[in-house]
């Protein structure tokens, strides 16, 4: 059953009046009395469509759905800003794999420059991708792409565990730091994961992060591309905590 | 250090005379006496460049390198042929994540049609992507994209474990089959992983595979896209078997 993330206001008014109307009416060809799932990002409801037009869908709530598709821990991906459309892919697949939120991070070796004027439109586009991926993957919660920041603007003090994905330790055959952390995770822990851009993390950035308590981790013996590392991290945490 | 997969013949003659010459001379700007790694897909050697031209690089072997970047099990990805360039992404990232080999599979819900004439050029392109990803990720072995087949043309009889990634059991909250299999894996086991295309696996195909001994598995509680499923499988196996 198709799920739509809507605003708190839309939920209070029991209407959908944004881009999703087109999806509901023209893509899914829904009719009156059809059931869909709606969520305000906190709670999910099974609802019945009560009226349809090309501008608005109104609905009645049937019942609250027990949401249990969320990771037991909150994993925030701090992704060194990569080239091309890799950030979109990371947000899309990272959302499916259960990431809590994303910060694209401008690092020393990030090649792309984002000026302040374009930042908001980039964030809007990233959040739209997260919304679509969250709906498609049956997330209960809508992950946010919070902000595009420089590394030193980020406050990492509230995280319980701090993982630095670092290919140089993979080359030295480090093979236990990541799993040691994942094995310790308990429900509701907050996990910060920092991943460098294509050229890797600069040594000064590594020192800075290690001083803040980050643990340099290898993700297996092979050298992963920047866009593959978040998939490894999220998949492994899901495998460890969500499968029996 | 840059690694190049070369043919057995090139290794015997201690020359490189294909596209890699451009990479060695113009991209990496290597000079005489520079060291590179070469592998025939079985063994890896540290070599020293002894001559360079724009058509050929010759080298002397310094020593054999101990390869230990390969997964302890052989995971073959049977991927329902997806749309667009997703197959390329699956081969690229799947190679980094340690896949042994790939078969793009035409399934009932595959939308793309590949005619016999185009098949070989597709396979050549896929294998080129695998080679580049294997070099970049420090693989010891070059994974192959073996063939594009219909599901019923494939002989699954030689596999020790048969995993069917099936989103319908994820919706029913199945949460133990995949991990049960991964926990049982021993060194050199052969693992077949079947993943449906975008529309999922048809019920007849599910029955066919289950009759062949495939176990339907959910990859966590969320519904993954076809191109995300192989990353989850390979990452989890690496996490379980390669990290301590």
pLDDT in tens, B84-126: 999 999 999 999 999 999 999 999 999 998 988 999 999 999 9
Q: How confident is the model at residue B150 (pLDDT cuts 50, 70, 90)?
A: very high
pLDDT value at B60 more than 80: yes
Mean local confidence (pLDDT), A210-237: 98
Q: Kindly give the pairing relationship between strand A3-5 and strand A35-39.
A: parallel
What is residue B77's predicted lDDT score, i.e. its pLDDT? 98
Nearest chain A alpha carbon to B135: A223
Largest CA distance in chain A: 62
Identify whether the C-beta of residue A27 lies closer than 8 Å to the C-beta of residue A54: no
pLDDT value at A67 more than 80: no
Would you call B243 and A139 a contact, using CB atoms and an 8 Å cutoff? no
Structure tokens at B113: 């049609």
Domain that includes residue B11, residue range:
3-65
Structure tokens at B197: 């295309």
Residues A52 and A137 in one domain: no
Q: Compute φ and ψ for A87, nearest 5 degrees.
A: -60, -40
Contacts of A179 in chain B (CB under 8 A): 239, 243-244
Identify whether the C-beta of residue B170 lies closer than 8 Å to the C-beta of residue B219: yes
Would you call A239 and B236 a contact, using CB atoms and an 8 Å cutoff? yes
Q: Which of B68, B96, B138 to mutate to test the interface with A (most CBs of A within 10 A)?
A: B96
pLDDT value at A8 more than 80: yes
Mean local confidence (pLDDT), A213-223: 97
pLDDT value at B156 more than 80: yes
CA B10 to chain centre: 23
Contacts of B138 in chain A (CB under 8 A): 171, 221-223
Residues A128 and A183 in one domain: yes
Residues B43 and B128 in one domain: no
Contacts of B98 in chain A (CB under 8 A): 220, 222
3-state secondary structure chain B: CCEEECCHHHHHHCEECCCHHHHHHHHCCCCCCCEEEEECCCCEEEEEEEEECCCCEEEEEEEEECCCCCCCCEEEEEEECCCCCHHHHHHHHHHHCCCCEEEEEECCCCCCCCCHHHHHHHHHHHHHHHHHHHHHCCCCCCCEECCCEEHHHCCCCCCCEEEEECHHHHHCCCCCHHHHHHHHCCCCCEEEEEECCCCCCCHHHHHHHHHCCCEEECCCCCCCCCCCHHHHHHHHHHHHHHCC
Residues A82 and A16 in one domain: no
Domain containing residue B115: CATH number: 3.40.1280.10
Residues A81 and A162 in one domain: yes
pLDDT value at B7 more than 80: yes
Would you call A224 and B96 a contact, using CB atoms and an 8 Å cutoff? yes
Identify whether the C-beta of residue A14 lies closer than 8 Å to the C-beta of residue A60: yes
Q: A8 exposed, middle or buried (CB, 10 Å; 0-12, 13-18, 19+)? A: exposed
Residues B85 and B114 in one domain: yes
Of the residues B48, B65, B82, the one at which a domain ends: B65
Residues A44 and A90 in one domain: no
Residues A103 and A181 in one domain: yes
Mean local confidence (pLDDT), A56-68: 92
Identify whether the C-beta of residue B214 lies closer than 8 Å to the C-beta of residue B157: no
What is residue A76's predicted lDDT score, i.e. its pLDDT? 98
What is residue A186's predicted lDDT score, i.e. its pLDDT? 98
Nearest chain A alpha carbon to B90: A228
* Poorest-pLDDT segment among A74-78, A211-215, B168-172: B168-172
Contacts of B244 in chain A (CB under 8 A): 175-176, 179
Bridge partners, A60 (sequence order): A48
What is residue A54's predicted lDDT score, i.e. its pLDDT? 92
Residues A114 and A234 in one domain: yes
pLDDT value at A24 more than 80: yes
- A192: closest CA of chain B, how far (Å): 19
Nearest chain A alpha carbon to B171: A138
Please give the Cα distance from B36 to B38 (Å, whole number).
Answer: 7
Please give the Cα distance from B90 to B231 (Å, whole number).
Answer: 8
Report chain B's mean pLDDT, rounded to a whole number.
96
For A143-152, b where at least 16 C-beta lie within 10 A, e where not — what string?
bbbeebbebe
Residues A59 and A79 in one domain: no
Structure tokens at A94: 């990272």
Domain containing residue A13: CATH number: 2.40.240.20
Centre a 10 Å sphere on the Cβ of residue B130 and count the other Cβ atoms it contains: 24
Q: Which residues contact B146 (CB under 8 A, 6 or more apart)?
A: B101, B102, B103
Of the residues A65, A84, A103, the one at which a domain ends: A65
Residue of A180, A177, A161 whose CA lies nearest to A169: A177
pLDDT value at A42 more than 90: no
Mean local confidence (pLDDT), B145-162: 97
Q: Domain count of chain B?
A: 2
Of the residues A21, A41, A65, the one at which a domain ends: A65
Contact of A220 with chain B, judged by CB distance below 8 Å, is answered with yes
Identify whether the C-beta of residue A77 lies closer than 8 Å to the C-beta of residue A103: yes
What is residue B222's predicted lDDT score, i.e. its pLDDT? 96
Q: How confident is the model at residue A43 (pLDDT cuts 50, 70, 90)?
A: confident
Residue of A131, A135, A125 whose CA lies nearest to A104: A125
Identify whether the C-beta of residue A114 lies closer than 8 Å to the C-beta of residue A83: no
Would you call A243 and B69 a contact, using CB atoms and an 8 Å cutoff? no
* Percent of chain A surpassing pLDDT 90: 93
pLDDT value at A2 more than 90: no
Residue of A170, A120, A180, A176 whose CA lies nearest to A148: A120
Would you call A239 and B238 a contact, using CB atoms and an 8 Å cutoff? no
pLDDT value at B67 more than 80: no
Please give the Cα distance from B60 to B175 (Å, whole number).
Answer: 53
Contacts of B219 in chain A (CB under 8 A): 235, 238
CB-nearest partner of A228 from B93, B138, B225: B93
Contact of B231 with chain A, judged by CB distance below 8 Å, is answered with yes
Contact of A174 with chain B, judged by CB distance below 8 Å, is answered with no
Q: How many Cβ pairs within 8 Å bridge chains A and B?
A: 127
What is residue A58's predicted lDDT score, i.e. its pLDDT? 97
pLDDT value at B68 more than 90: no
Residues A61 and A85 in one domain: no
Contact of A91 with chain B, judged by CB distance below 8 Å, is answered with no
Nearest chain A alpha carbon to B231: A231
Mean local confidence (pLDDT), A47-52: 96
Q: What is the pLDDT of residues B17-50, one digit of tens each?
A: 999 999 999 999 999 999 999 999 888 999 999 9
Q: How confident is the model at residue B157 (pLDDT cuts 50, 70, 90)?
A: very high
Residues A92 and A168 in one domain: yes
């Amino acid at each position: 059953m198709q799920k739509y993330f809507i605003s708190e206001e839309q939920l209070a008014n029991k209407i959908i009046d944004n881009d999703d109307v087109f999806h509901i009416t023209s893509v899914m060809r829904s009719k009156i009395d059809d059931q869909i799932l709606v969520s305000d990002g906190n709670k999910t409801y099974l609802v019945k469509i009560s009226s349809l037009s090309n501008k608005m869908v109104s609905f009645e709530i049937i019942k609250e759905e027990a949401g249990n598709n969320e990771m037991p821990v909150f994993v925030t991906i701090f992704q060194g800003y990569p080239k091309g459309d890799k950030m979109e892919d990371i947000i899309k697949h990272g959302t499916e794999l259960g990431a809590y939120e994303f910060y694209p991070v401008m690092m020393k070796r990030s090649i792309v420059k984002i000026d302040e004027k374009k930042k908001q439109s980039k964030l809007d586009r990233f959040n739209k991708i997260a919304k679509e991926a969250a709906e498609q993957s049956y997330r209960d919660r809508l992950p946010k792409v919070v902000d595009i920041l420089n590394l030193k603007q980020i406050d990492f003090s509230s995280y319980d565990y701090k993982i630095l994905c670092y290919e140089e330790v993979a080359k030295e055959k480090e093979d236990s730091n990541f799993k040691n952390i994942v094995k310790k995770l308990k429900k509701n822990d907050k996990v910060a994961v920092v991943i460098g851009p294509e050229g890797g993390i600069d040594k000064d950035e590594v020192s800075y992060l290690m001083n803040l308590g980050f643990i340099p981790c290898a993700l297996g013996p092979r050298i992963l591309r920047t866009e593959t590392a978040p998939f490894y991290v999220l998949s492994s945490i899901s495998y460890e905590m969500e499968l029996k």
